[in-house]
């Protein structure tokens, strides 16, 4: 009972700190699609004074995946006859000449899986098919792709490979830091990398806090930013029940063994050096680009789509001429409208306003 009283008092104080902030304008960028969604769903934006601006950054792996990746996947299905296994979010992302859903309607085999490990199981159960898993994701998801390769290797699977567009967040932190005063660092990415990765950014003048996903955790993280802003670069781990200083050594070892850093294109941000993860040369038999010699794909997106600007925090979905008109969750034009974690999808669902839920 005493602990509950302490907690209520602490959260009331946190809300007071955030709601009464009257200092210089404070731009806070979340770089996690789940943060974007939860901030809307919980009504956090409705609590904030005009002096605090929340910017939705490049935190959704589907959204930052370039159009050319979809084109590569469609090429594999169309020209090589492979079975594509994919997370469901990718299926409706428009490529240069259609989505995976369009390809499926024309006869391509596209299987939706929950985890890369299910793709290995599918390949095991269907030895007559060549199976390619579309491996997108940040540090949270990529270890599962590494485990998929580990299992496929142990089984000597010959009909399984990955088409990779995996990315690491630290390059994005560096690329985007001038767009904000502080980051809400993604809690689950930090569970893998450890808090030491964002903590080290303070030496480069970059501030932020690791945040969890519940109302208490988000409010706490925002209060800590407000209390710390305006002084020296700062860092705090506001999600210690999940994030440790060193993260997950086991996951880091998997990434190191099965992947290798490469330059990678991010939708809206361009090519960021060493921000991607490709299949390590020692496991090239699982690299679909090596196995199928995929020719370079052009990657043409709708020129009116402003997903790139939205991912950089340069504008909001409401500034896009397509948003809510030709681009809706039912008929998405840009990737940010496709994924449930995308900024445009969150704006569309909550219409840029939500009721306060902390009272």
Partner 1 sequence: MCVGIPAKVVSVKDGTALVDASGARREVSAELLSSLDPGDYVMVHAGLAIAKITADDEAEAASVLSSIAPAEVNNGTED
User: For the chain, how many helices (H) and strands (E)?
Assistant: 17, 11
Q: How far apart are the first and last CA of the chain?
A: 20
| Per-residue CA distances from 199 to 168, 204, 205, 248 (Å) | 16, 10, 11, 16
State the minimum distance, in angstroms, from the CB of residue 159 to partner 1: 20
Buried (b) or exposed (e) across 335-349, using 16+ Cβ within 10 A?
Answer: bbbbbebbbbbbbbe
CA gap 27, 181 in Å, rounded: 5
State the minimum distance, in angstroms, from the CB of residue 240 to partner 1: 6
CA gap 140, 254 in Å, rounded: 12
Instruction: Please tell me whether residue 199 binds partner 1 under the rule CB under 8 A.
Output: no
State the minimum distance, in angstroms, from the CB of residue 221 to partner 1: 8
Nearest residue (CB) to partner 1, 326 versus 349: 349
Q: Which residues, numbered 251-310, are part of the site for partner 1 (CB under 8 A)?
A: 251, 254
Q: Which residues, numbered 210-239, are part of the site for partner 1 (CB under 8 A)?
A: 212-214, 216-217, 219-220, 223-224, 227-228, 236, 238-239
* Tokens matching residue 288: 């679909």
Pairing of strands 182-186, 26-30: parallel
State the minimum distance, in angstroms, from the CB of residue 265 to partner 1: 18
Q: Would you tell me how many other CB atoms lie within 10 Å of the CB of residue 147?
A: 17
Stretch that binds partner 1, among 86-94, 170-178, 284-292, 315-323 (CB under 8 A): 86-94
Question: Among residues 243, 211, 252, 255, which one has the least CA distance to residue 38?
Answer: 211
Q: Which residues, numbered 125-184, are part of the site for partner 1 (CB under 8 A)?
A: 136-138, 140-141, 143-144, 147
Nearest residue (CB) to partner 1, 62 versus 322: 62
Nearest residue (CB) to partner 1, 33 versus 313: 33
CA 184 to chain centre: 13
Backbone region of residue 216 per phi and psi (left: phi > 0; alpha: psi in -120 to 50; beta: other values): alpha
Among 25, 125, 250, 355, binds partner 1 (CB under 8 A): 250
Nearest residue (CB) to partner 1, 133 versus 292: 133
Among 80, 117, 290, 356, binds partner 1 (CB under 8 A): 117
* Tokens matching residue 181: 């005063």
Nearest residue (CB) to partner 1, 203 versus 250: 250
State the minimum distance, in angstroms, from the CB of residue 324 to partner 1: 24
State the minimum distance, in angstroms, from the CB of residue 295 to partner 1: 27
Instruction: Please tell me whether residue 118 binds partner 1 under the rule CB under 8 A.
Output: yes
Instruction: Please tell me whether residue 101 binds partner 1 under the rule CB under 8 A.
Output: no
Q: How many CA atoms lie within 13 A of 14 on its CB side?
A: 21
CA 147 to chain centre: 20
Residue entry with tokens 């390619």: 132
State the minimum distance, in angstroms, from the CB of residue 203 to partner 1: 21
State the minimum distance, in angstroms, from the CB of residue 113 to partner 1: 9
Nearest residue (CB) to partner 1, 104 versus 340: 340
Contact 332, 338 (CB under 8 A): yes
Using CB under 8 A as the criterion, which residues of the chain lie in contact with partner 1 when the complex forms?
Answer: 3-14, 16-17, 32-34, 60-62, 87-90, 114-118, 136-138, 140-141, 143-144, 147, 187-188, 191-192, 212-214, 216-217, 219-220, 223-224, 227-228, 236, 238-243, 248, 250-251, 254, 339-341, 359
């Amino acid at each position: 009972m005493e602990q509950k009283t302490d907690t209520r008092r602490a959260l009331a104080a946190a809300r007071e700190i955030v709601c009464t902030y009257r200092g210089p304008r404070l731009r806070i960028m979340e770089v996690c699609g789940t943060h974007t969604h939860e901030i809307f769903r919980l009504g956090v934006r409705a609590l904030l004074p005009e002096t605090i601006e929340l910017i939705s950054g490049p935190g959704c792996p589907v959204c930052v995946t370039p159009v050319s990746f979809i084109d590569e996947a469609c090429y594999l299905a169309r020209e090589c006859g492979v079975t594509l296994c994919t997370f469901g979010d990718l299926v409706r992302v428009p490529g240069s000449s259609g989505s995976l859903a369009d390809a499926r309607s024309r006869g391509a085999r596209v299987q939706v899986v929950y985890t890369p490990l299910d793709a290995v199981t599918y390949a095991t159960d269907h030895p007559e098919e060549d199976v390619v898993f579309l491996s997108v994701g940040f540090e949270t998801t990529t270890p599962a792709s590494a485990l998929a390769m580990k299992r496929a290797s142990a089984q000597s699977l010959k009909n399984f490979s990955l088409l990779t567009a995996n990315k690491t967040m630290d390059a994005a932190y560096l690329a985007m830091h001038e767009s904000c005063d502080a980051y809400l660092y993604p809690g689950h990415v930090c569970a893998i990398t450890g808090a030491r990765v964002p903590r080290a950014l303070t030496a480069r003048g970059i501030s932020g806090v690791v945040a969890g996903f519940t109302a208490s955790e988000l409010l706490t993280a925002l209060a800590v930013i407000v209390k710390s802003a305006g002084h020296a670069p700062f860092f705090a781990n506001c999600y210690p029940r999940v994030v440790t200083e060193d993260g997950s050594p086991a996951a880091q070892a998997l990434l190191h063994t099965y992947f290798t850093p490469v330059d990678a294109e991010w939708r809206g941000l361009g090519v960021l050096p060493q921000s991607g993860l490709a299949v390590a040369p020692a496991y090239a038999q699982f690299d679909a680009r090596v196995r199928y010699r995929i020719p370079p794909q052009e990657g043409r997106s709708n020129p009116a789509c402003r997903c790139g600007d939205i991912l950089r925090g340069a504008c909001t979905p409401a500034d896009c001429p397509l948003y809510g008109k030709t681009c809706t969750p039912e008929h998405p034009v840009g990737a940010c409208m496709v994924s449930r974690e995308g900024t445009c999808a969150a704006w569309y669902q909550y219409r840029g306003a939500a009721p306060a839920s902390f009272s």
